[in-house]
Amino acid sequence: MRTLTTTQELTEFCIAARQHPFVTLDTEFLRERTYYSKLCLIQMAYEGDGETDAVLVDPLAEGLSLEPLYDLFRDRSVVKVFHAARQDLEIFFVDAQVFPDPLFDTQVAAMVCGFGEQAGYETLVRKIAKASVDKSSRFTDWSRRPLTDAQKNYALADVTHLRDIYKYLSKEIEKTNRTSWVKEELKVLLAPETYIIEPAEAYKRIKTRTNSPRFLAIVRELAKFREGYAQERNIPRNRVYKDDALMELASTKPKSMQDLGRSRLLLREARKGDVAEGILAAIQEGLNAHGDSLPKPDTSRDKLQVNPALADLLRVLVKAKADESGVAQKLLATSADLDAIAGGLRDVVALSGWRAEVFGNDALQLCEGKIALTAKGEKVEIIRL
């Protein structure tokens, strides 16, 4: 279990890795007490001699630079393989604004190869690599040094079995001509906007029960202040105040420190100092908003006239298509997608890209009365009218 602690050691390993068609990677990090993830460990492996082909990289080691790793990320001759890469990619993007290119995510590949929605790593290890993973070290403190042997074994298993999983899934993807499907799904993971949260847009992530522009304006300003404060100080947004407290503040609209003191849900620390002043200023900003500066709620789906019979037929169709293609049903279309289609909306993810090829085109024909569904044994078949 070799651990790299110097830039020179990392450089040498990355040079060796670049002589191979792919390299597998994973990370361990902490995020409970910070806004941004604290990177604690990187695991890497390629197919080699079995002794030096899998290593741990200690990003907490004094003086170690990750630039050799980022050079490897930029080398398009080597595929960078992750499982469920989103949080890993966020760490590297925040640190260096770099993405691994080309990227292969085995969770995405597994979903389009019939392993179900969000297939877990342990499941793939068991079904493909015919092995098991000891997950007892998953929730340990990865920032403490020295790491235990159990932690190191757990970490290395996340990239050594990944080699066999990648080889199997990449062959399946190629055999079924679904390379374009995977690339389409990876676009979101490789888009900077996936990882950039603009404080002014933070309110869109909060669920509200009203579409009142004035109420939404106050929610927007409270969320904007909270997000900016959390980012600047690198603390979790919920440590500033939680969503339920934010909603309470937007409803009660306190105007003074004394009013804040009557809050039922606001943390004690938030009733004084910078946070309290920021809350009061945000509420006033929301109250002062007018005209075009008020948020415009999306009401496009509020007046949908969903045909329940058509929605039920679409559910039958998507299940049949999922069974036929070996793709997780929810990956093809969510329940909300099906209701939207049955209600006449056409700007729906299920009707675009590879999903249109598998399900969406037939869904539209079903809506237009151009096809019908019939049962034949245990299968549902399409009749062209």
Local structure of 137: helix, strand or coil = coil
How many CB atoms are closer than 10 A to CB 49? 6
- Bridge partners (DSSP) of residue 371 are 384
Give pLDDT tens digits for 210-260.
889 999 999 999 999 999 999 999 999 999 999 999 999 999 999 999 999
**pTM for the full model?**
0.90
Residues 6 or more apart whose Cβ sits within 8 Å of residue 281: 225
pLDDT at 51: 64
Confidence (pLDDT) at 301: 63
Tell me: the pLDDT tens digits for 348-380?
A: 999 999 999 999 999 999 999 999 999 988 899
Q: How high does pLDDT run on average in the chain?
A: 94
Q: Pick the closest to residue 28 from 40, 36, 44, 19 (CA basis).
A: 40
Residues 142-194: tens digit of each pLDDT? 999 999 999 999 999 999 999 999 999 999 999 999 999 999 999 999 999 99
Strands (E), the chain: 2-4, 22-30, 38-45, 54-57, 79-82, 103-105, 371-376, 379-384
| Residue of 7, 162, 161 whose CA lies nearest to 80 | 162
Please provide residue 27's backbone torsions phi and psi, each rounded to the nearest 5 degrees: -135, 160
- Helix%, strand%, coil% for the chain, nearest 5: 55, 10, 35
Name, in order, each residue with C-beta under 8 angstroms of 341's C-beta and a sequence gap of 6 or more: 314, 333, 348, 350, 351, 363, 364, 367
3-state secondary structure of 98: coil
Q: Give the mean model confidence (pLDDT) for residues 100-108.
A: 96
How large is the average pLDDT for residues 120-126? Answer: 94
Residue 46 pLDDT more than 80?
Answer: yes
